Amino acid sequence: MISMWSFVLLLTLLIIPQWRQAMAMADFNVLDFGAKADSRSDSTAALLATWARACGSKIPATMVVPKGTFFVSRALFQGPCNNDLRLFVQGTLVADGGDSSDSEWITFKYVQGLSIYGGTFDGRGQALWACKASRRNCHAGFTALTISQSKDVVLSGMRLMNSEKFQMEITYSQGVKMTGVTIIAPQHSPNTDGIHLHMSSGIAVMSSTIGTGDDCISIGPGVSDVWIEDINCGPGHGISIGSLGDSPGEAGVQNVTATSVVFTGTENGFRVKTWPKPYATYVKDITFEHATMVNVQNPIILDQNYCAGSDHCSKQSSGVKISGVLFNDVQGTSATPVAVKLDCSRSNPCRGIVLQDIRLRYSGGEQSVAQSFCENAQGTTSGFVIPPSCL
Ligand SMILES: *[C@@H]1O[C@H](CO)[C@@H](O)[C@H](O)[C@H]1NC(C)=O
């Protein structure tokens, strides 16, 4: 009996302080560190000072950006932190809207267990796009939100808009989950990909709306284990793997699923794009399914002769091996007659392409029917396939 009671006592003594500590939360509000919601004063230093305190806290900490518009010139938030920090953004962060040489605007680096909720992030890219349109000598532009060399990050309910270049990039990171994200840039803004993934794994993008001037989601070299679900994409260039094979030694892309996507008025639906260059790498184990295409120029496209924005493309055959790509339950309308385009490499034909339950119609006229195009593509079909497959 005595030993049991001392055991209970010991347990109580051990648990209560930890429980109390777990309930304690430290709140750090950027206004207390000098941030000004006047959209003009640079609040960067205040945000970084708040971050330093919240990140250094030994008990769970919350950093709060309240309602209002805060000008932030360029902010790099670095970990590692002493706690699983939560960042609540109720207000709007705006960039300066000038022609800066920065390639990133808001960056989170070396963080683990960070969650970011809400917020509007306005990159104010209009001046840079105007410069690019006038063909003057302009900077390349920045990515509005970058998650770099980080782990176990959650992004929820944020709005990203008008970044000069990519709206968001995830690079050299593992385990990034985002839900309820809204990303907006004008249809003709150059290079404004919604979410770009690079050298990362375990990425989920769910229940989000993305409309930009470039790919809604683009998946670059060295990306694996990606889950994309319940996305509205458009305007933009669709969901793309690539472009790949631009330079030697690129890592491949593997195990990507995109499901329940509505594409509206986009240039592409589901796409894999590789440069016509000999550099070897691979794309494999890809599932593209349950999509509705609304007036999409290329609803299904494997393009191994991708050569955008370059006047002097080599006409070599691509060294990228594409295998195991399933297109399942893809329906709706194509804005061009070729609804299914499988344009693969001469030296590395595509293998294991599966078309299953495809029903695409050309929206261009009553008499016109949709067609398929195949070059160096091997695979199978099942269920109904309209337009008829050329595999
Ligand atoms: C593929 O990726 C998913 C996440 O999207 C993951 O759950 C699954 O384990 C991965 N499959 C393999 C074979 O690695």
The domain that contains 253 carries what CATH number? Answer: 2.160.20.10
Residue at token pair 């968001």? 168
Proportion of the chain in helix, strand, coil states, percent, rounded to 5: 10, 50, 35
Phi, psi values for residue 181, rounded to 5°: -95, 140
In a domain, 22, yes or no: no
Amino acid at 382: S
In a domain, 326, yes or no: yes
In a domain, 17, yes or no: no
Q: Which long-range contacts (CB under 8 A, 24 or more apart) does 53-57 make?
A: 53/28, 54/26, 54/28, 54/81, 54/85, 54/87, 55/79, 55/81, 55/82, 55/83, 55/85, 56/81, 56/82, 57/26, 57/28, 57/81, 57/82, 57/83, 57/85
Is the pLDDT at 377 greater than 90, yes or no?
A: yes
Is the pLDDT at 19 greater than 70, yes or no?
A: no
Structure confidence by residue, pLDDT tens digits, 209-236: 999 999 999 999 999 999 999 999 999 9
**Closest atom of ligand 1 relative to the 204 alpha carbon:** 5
Is the pLDDT at 22 greater than 60, yes or no?
A: no
**What pLDDT is attached to residue 5?**
60
In a domain, 10, yes or no: no
pLDDT band for 181, please (50, 70, 90 cuts): very high
237 is catalytic: yes
In a domain, 15, yes or no: no
Q: What is the DSSP letter of 98?
A: S
151-177 b/e (C-beta count within 10 Å ≥ 16 → b): bbbbbebbbbbbbbbbbbbbbebbbbb
**What pLDDT is attached to residue 98?**
85
Structure confidence by residue, pLDDT tens digits, 326-353: 999 999 999 999 999 999 999 999 999 9
CA distance 345 to 337: 22
Residues 121-141, mean pLDDT to the nearest whole number: 94
Q: What is the mean pLDDT of the chain?
A: 94
Q: State which of 255, 285, 289 you would mutate to test the pocket of ligand 1, scoring each by most atoms of that ligand within 8 A of its C-beta.
A: 255
**What pLDDT is attached to residue 89?**
98
In a domain, 178, yes or no: yes
Ligand 1 within 6 A of CB of 375: no
In a domain, 358, yes or no: yes
- Taking the alpha carbons at both ends of the chain, their separation in whole angstroms is 77
Is the pLDDT at 20 greater than 60, yes or no?
A: no
**What pLDDT is attached to residue 3?**
66
**What pLDDT is attached to residue 9?**
57
Residues 122-143, mean pLDDT to the nearest whole number: 94
**What pLDDT is attached to residue 315?**
81
Q: Can you give the residue range of the structural domain that contains 96?
A: 29-386
Q: 122 and 94 in contact (C-beta within 8 Å)?
A: yes
For the whole prediction, is pTM greater than 0.85? yes
Which is catalytic among the residues 188, 196, 237, 290? 237
Residues 42-68, mean pLDDT to the nearest whole number: 98
CA distance 37 to 89: 13
**What pLDDT is attached to residue 8?**
59
In a domain, 34, yes or no: yes
CA angle 323/329/333 to nearest 5° reads 105
Structure confidence by residue, pLDDT tens digits, 275-301: 999 999 999 999 999 999 999 999 999
Element (H, E) at 255: strand 253-264
Percent of the chain with pLDDT over 90: 88
pLDDT band for 313, please (50, 70, 90 cuts): confident
Residue from 391, 374, 283, 261 nearest 328 by CA? 261
Structure confidence by residue, pLDDT tens digits, 193-211: 999 999 999 999 999 999 9
Alpha carbon of 277 to ligand 1 centroid (Å): 30
Residue from 320, 246, 236 nearest 270 by CA? 236
CA distance 307 to 304: 9
Phi, psi values for residue 53, rounded to 5°: -70, -45
CA distance 345 to 332: 28
Residues 259-272, mean pLDDT to the nearest whole number: 98
Phi, psi values for residue 12, rounded to 5°: -60, -45
Ligand 1 within 6 A of CB of 225: yes
Q: How many domains is the chain built from?
A: 1
Element (H, E) at 61: strand 61-65
Per-residue tokens: 25: 């939360």
Structure confidence by residue, pLDDT tens digits, 71-110: 999 999 999 999 999 999 999 999 999 878 999 999 999 9
Ligand 1 within 6 A of CB of 229: no
Residues 363-367, mean pLDDT to the nearest whole number: 78
Residue at token pair 């709007």? 92
Residues 25-39, mean pLDDT to the nearest whole number: 96
Phi, psi values for residue 305, rounded to 5°: -120, 40
Environment class of 82 (CB within 10 Å of its CB; exposed 0-12, middle 13-18, buried 19+): middle
Ligand 1 within 6 A of CB of 227: yes
Is the pLDDT at 171 greater than 80, yes or no?
A: yes
Residue from 142, 92, 83 nearest 115 by CA? 83
